[in-house]
Amino acid sequence: MQLTLTPLLDIPLIKPGDDLASIILLALQRAGISLEDGDVLVLAQKIVSKAEGRLVNLSTVTASSQAVELGGRTQKDPRLVEVILRESNAVLRTRPGTIVVEHRLGFVCASAGVDHSNVLGEGDQLEDWVLLLPVNPDASAQSVRQRLESASGACLGVLIIDSHGRAWRLGTVGMAIGLAGLPGLEDLRGQPDLFGFRLQITQVGVADELAAAASLVMGQAAEGTPVVHVRGFPYALREGSLGELLRPKEQDMFR
Amino acid sequence: MQLTLTPLLDIPLIKPGDDLASIILLALQRAGISLEDGDVLVLAQKIVSKAEGRLVNLSTVTASSQAVELGGRTQKDPRLVEVILRESNAVLRTRPGTIVVEHRLGFVCASAGVDHSNVLGEGDQLEDWVLLLPVNPDASAQSVRQRLESASGACLGVLIIDSHGRAWRLGTVGMAIGLAGLPGLEDLRGQPDLFGFRLQITQVGVADELAAAASLVMGQAAEGTPVVHVRGFPYALREGSLGELLRPKEQDMFR
């Protein structure tokens, strides 16, 4: 079975309040794609966050003493650090230029996913605006999924992704931060391999694998291609959630 | 630009000494695929290791006292632990059932990539055989690449992947362990985004993103589809190496 990833072209710049589902349906139409059962739409976090108005103007933020102290140590704007801390459950590591946290959504990432680049703030100093992750990316994905399913009559998955660094490897890769209608983790426990052995590897992070694949075609500077249509996702669609992918803290050997 | 991943069907079980390039060329022919400039072939580590004869029979291994001690603590066969230690630069974390190491190739992974399942050992107790990673996966990729390029006249990339766990997330994902003819890391530093900001995210692990994508279509139990043809890889091909993807120890905050 072939896996095909098609970035949707000419998605307009997204503004707070925009209706992503309608914008995606139009882009699919322009691309000549009719949605089919099993298709997945992958959305860059930025457009979801912008549509949901997750913009903060740093001039409205008062840094706590903790943010001032951490900003000093990491050479970051204390107001930005304040926003990062509000989005985090815990600070795991810091060094100049870098703050690694457990995000309030449960995953580990740099700067709580708070993004300073590429933020739309009309009529203001662009430098003052930052963009936070969606409040509940699983719910955001579910909302877009329902609209696309109603419009198409197809059973679909929707995946929201961001670019994360890794502990031991250089370079960011696309990772799932929210999903609806597709598995996060696929449990292969008990499937015999070709020789009848039970596989020792039991679980595959299929939503993260798809996130990485979609990230590859989105590029990084390409705000023009923040939506990717996927055909041939090789796992059965089902209800899924980000929580499947989060390692419980008691199993975490690297925190 | 569309990204298409096609698993090649009917690849035979690989034995030590098999000529992978010839086997891949035949499978491409059967699939009706003519190689073009920019195509990438992704190979599962297992078939490369088997072709290179990286099989060890545990009955030939004598466990050191360190391996006996670590085997006891982790509830693993001390002879298997001995093989893992020989393939490792350092042991980073252990707990019952799990040994996380820095592999001699420089990356962090469980059990040094030594695989107990799905190993071909004709005429022996299957349980006694384990499979090690290739000696030099970049060189293995380069060797296959040269053969495929000579046969096709096209400029190609070859990527060898394995399934790795992650520090903070559940589920394995495909990761690059060797490459030739494609970038490991793509440096986006200095490319302005749509608003003229310099991007803060500077480097993308493009070979790992492609590894994850290919892993998705290979599946896990599917030794029948250990080769994936990729068309539409969105980055220019160039000489590349695994080393690009390895975080220098002095930048590692989670070791």
What does the pLDDT look like over A55-99, one tens digit per residue?
999 999 999 999 999 999 999 999 999 999 999 999 999 999 999
The DSSP code sequence of A79-103 is: HHHHHHHHTEEEEEEEETTEEEEEE
pLDDT band at A118; cut points 50, 70, 90: low
Handedness of CA B116, B121, B127, B132 (dihedral sign): negative
Superfamily of domain A4-53+134-245: CofE-like (3.30.1330.100)
Give yes or no for a contact between A119 and A131, defined as CB atoms under 8 angstroms apart.
yes
Percent of chain A with pLDDT over 70: 88
b (16+ CB within 10 A) / e for A114-140: bbbbbbbbeeeeeebbbbbbbeebbeb
Is B47 in a helix, a strand, or coil? Answer: helix
Q: Which amino acid is at B249?
A: K
pLDDT confidence of residue B220:
53
Q: Report the distance separating Cα B114 and Cα B111, nearest Å.
A: 6
Q: Which amino acid is at B140?
A: S
Q: Report the distance separating Cα A166 and Cα A130, nearest Å.
A: 23
The partner residue sitting opposite A212, judged by closest CB among B173, B184, B188, is B173
Chain B: residue whose CA lies nearest to A210: B213
Chain A: residue whose CA lies nearest to B201: A172
CB contact under 8 A, B206 and A171: yes
**Runs of H (alpha helix) within B87-205:** 137-152
Phi first, then psi, for residue A4 (nearest 5°) are -125, 125
How far does A10 lie from chain B, in Å, by closest CA? Answer: 13
pLDDT confidence of residue B121:
45
CB contact under 8 A, B199 and A117: yes
CB contact under 8 A, A116 and B220: no
CB contact under 8 A, A169 and B5: no
Give A12-15's long-range contacts (Cβ < 8 A, gap of 24+): A13/A120, A13/A223, A13/B194, A14/A46, A14/A47, A14/A50, A14/A51, A14/A120, A14/A226, A15/A50, A15/A51, A15/A120
Asked whether the ipTM of the predicted complex exceeds the cut of 0.90, the reply is yes
CATH architecture of A55-131: Alpha-Beta Complex (3.90)
pLDDT confidence of residue A187:
82
How far does A37 lie from chain B, in Å, by closest CA? Answer: 18
How far does B206 lie from chain A, in Å, by closest CA? Answer: 7
- How many CB atoms within 10 Å of residue A77? 18
pLDDT band at A250; cut points 50, 70, 90: confident
pLDDT band at A255; cut points 50, 70, 90: confident
Superfamily of domain B4-53+133-245: CofE-like (3.30.1330.100)
**A212 vs B contacts (CB less than 8 Å):** 173, 208-209, 211-213
Q: Tell me B234's DSSP state.
A: S
To probe the interface with B, which of A84, A126, A173, A186 has the most B CB atoms within 10 Å? A173
**A217 vs B contacts (CB less than 8 Å):** 1-3, 232, 234
pLDDT in tens, A170-213: 999 999 999 999 999 998 755 555 455 545 557 999 999 999 99
Radius of gyration of chain B (CA): 19
pLDDT confidence of residue A115:
81
CB contact under 8 A, B170 and A252: no
Q: Report the distance separating Cα B166 and Cα A167, nearest Å.
A: 8
Give B143-147's long-range contacts (Cβ < 8 A, gap of 24+): B143/B21, B144/B20, B144/B21, B144/B24, B144/B41, B144/B43, B144/B48, B144/B180, B145/B180, B145/B181, B147/B21, B147/B22
CATH 3.30.1330.100 boundaries in chain B: 4-53+133-245
Those residues with Cβ within 8 angstroms of residue B68's Cβ, 6 or more apart along the chain or in another chain: B78, B81
pLDDT in tens, A132-155: 999 999 999 999 999 999 999 999
Chain B: residue whose CA lies nearest to A191: B221
How far does B224 lie from chain A, in Å, by closest CA? Answer: 9
CB contact under 8 A, A234 and B216: yes
Chain B: residue whose CA lies nearest to A4: B4
CATH 3.90.1660.10 boundaries in chain B: 55-131
CATH 3.30.1330.100 boundaries in chain A: 4-53+134-245
CB contact under 8 A, B216 and A233: yes
Chain A: residue whose CA lies nearest to B225: A1
Beta bridge partners of B99: B94
Tell me the average confidence (pLDDT) per consecutive run of 10 residues in chain B, 255 residues long: 93 95 97 98 96 95 97 95 98 94 96 75 64 98 98 98 94 97 84 51 89 89 79 96 94 85
CB contact under 8 A, B163 and A204: yes
Q: What is the pTM of this model?
A: 0.94
The partner residue sitting opposite B217, judged by closest CB among A3, A173, A205, is A3
pLDDT confidence of residue A121:
45
In 3D space, the residue among A245, A181, A243, A237 whose CA is nearest the CA of residue A212 turns out to be: A245
Residue A236 above 90 pLDDT? Answer: yes
**B167 vs A contacts (CB less than 8 Å):** 108, 166-168, 247, 252-254
CB contact under 8 A, A253 and B93: yes
Extract the tokens encoding A140.
């955001």
pLDDT confidence of residue A246:
96
- The continuous run of DSSP H or E covering A109 comes out as strand A108-110
Q: Using alpha carbons only, what angle is made at residue A133 by residues A228 and B194, rounded to the nearest 5 degrees?
A: 60
pLDDT confidence of residue B189:
58
Strands (E), chain B: 3-7, 40-44, 55-57, 88-95, 98-103, 108-110, 129-131, 157-164, 173-180, 186-187, 203-204, 227-231
**B229 vs A contacts (CB less than 8 Å):** none
How far does A237 lie from chain B, in Å, by closest CA? Answer: 14
